[in-house]
Amino acid sequence: MGKVTSNRSGPVAYINARLLDPATGLDTKGALVTEGGLIADFGPRLFADTPPASVDVVDCEGLCLMPGLVDMRVQLREPGEEHKETIETASAAASAGGVTAMACLPNTDPVLDDVAGIEFIARRAREVKATKVFCYAAATRRLGGTELTEMGLLAETGAVAFTDGLRGIADARVMQRALSYAKTFDLLLVQHPEEPSLAADGAMNAGEMSMRLGLRGIPAVAEVIMIERDLRLVEATGGRYHAAHVSTGAAVDAMRRAKARGLPVTCDTAPPYFTLNETAIGDYRTFAKISPPLRTEEDRVAVLEGLADGTIDAIASDHSPHDQDSKRVPFAQAENGIVGLETLLPLSLALYHNGHVPLLDVLRKLSATPADILRLPLGRLTKGAAADLVLLDLDRPGRIDVDAFRSKSKNSPFENMPVQGQVRRTIVEGRTLFEAD
């Protein structure tokens, strides 16, 4: 792959590229030029002759040039648990994974439930000056599930949506008030769909395997009960609603029916739920312990079907970094979560390589659609838009190497898994943040 030669602050031409824009269906050979951090122009006839001498040139050698990924569910651990991750280390991991923008959950210490917390994240992101960082604000104060936050004020400060993060809003009256309040300001509520009394003290999916391992199970019905209740409240209030990381066939069916009725609802899932099932836990593998838990093979197939037919709108990494002390303990005591920023794209590309979902549909669920859900002007090849780009070798084979992760934490069950597709370069506002060796 060609290198940028000089004048990096000036225009840069990416030539001999396969231009992909999932938002418009563009898939063509061509070129793209950036200037001043923006996309100046692109298309199949751009630089049909030799680019001007004043333009630095990157020869893409036929690789895919596309919008950067927009990851709508990331835990940054800063402030409060910087030993697990920081905005800086998460940005390094994101760049290696082709993620140019990410939205972080509010379950930090202190909780992001006031203006000071939102401003702190924005300030730290400006200091790091790498991956774009947006943040959710807590829907309820201190994630307590009872008293609503000042959603209107927090939205004005920069919160992209409202959620209690890893906790579902269990109280139906609180959820109804939250949806009504959000409707007034045209805001989005994101729910962790798990009925807490059914999930309490659970460690994995309830079923034959949990009984065999002697672990308390979380029944699949805990997810769909919460979603179906919420959908009734959406119907009553008209509030915008997003169900995070759906993992069960019943939940996918419920969302499919809600969309058919025209409700203002969306949902996402994460790679573990269409890549693995509960057998990945094996003999108490805590690196496969996540929330919601890995489900049955039937649920995994249902999630695949939801991705294929468009019921599931987006794919998020659900990046949940944990240190060794949080994972190398008895299974029931281990923290939930998998690091995901660096595996989001290759695991998602398996949907294309295995023939489940067309390429542009996969990429849309990783870029334009999450940006649309969060109402961010990202995830598209558009003249005048920020030059947030990824150069992808779509067919390059490899294996996931956890030791090479740039994330501060390494908790992943995907070690040595074969994958196809590698990020070669990640660009944010015209600046190259990552380039593969």
The amino acid present at 306, given as its one-letter code, is G
Q: Which of 318, 372, 388, 393 is catalytic?
A: 318
| HSE (side-chain half, CA atoms, 13 Å) at 322 | 21
Buried b (16+ CB within 10 A) or exposed e, 60-69: beebbbbbbb
Dihedral-angle region of residue 245 (phi above 0 means left; psi in -120 to 50 means alpha; beta otherwise): left
Contacts of 126 (CB under 8 A, 6+ apart): none
Tokens 């838990």, residue located: 293
Q: What is the largest CA-CA distance in the chain?
A: 69
End-to-end CA distance of the chain: 10
The verdict on whether 318 is a catalytic residue reads: yes
Token digits of residue 229: 């209740």
Q: Is 120 exposed, middle or buried (0-12, 13-18, 19+ CB in 10 A)?
A: middle
Number of Cβ atoms within 10 Å of the Cβ of 54: 8
Catalytically active residues are: 318
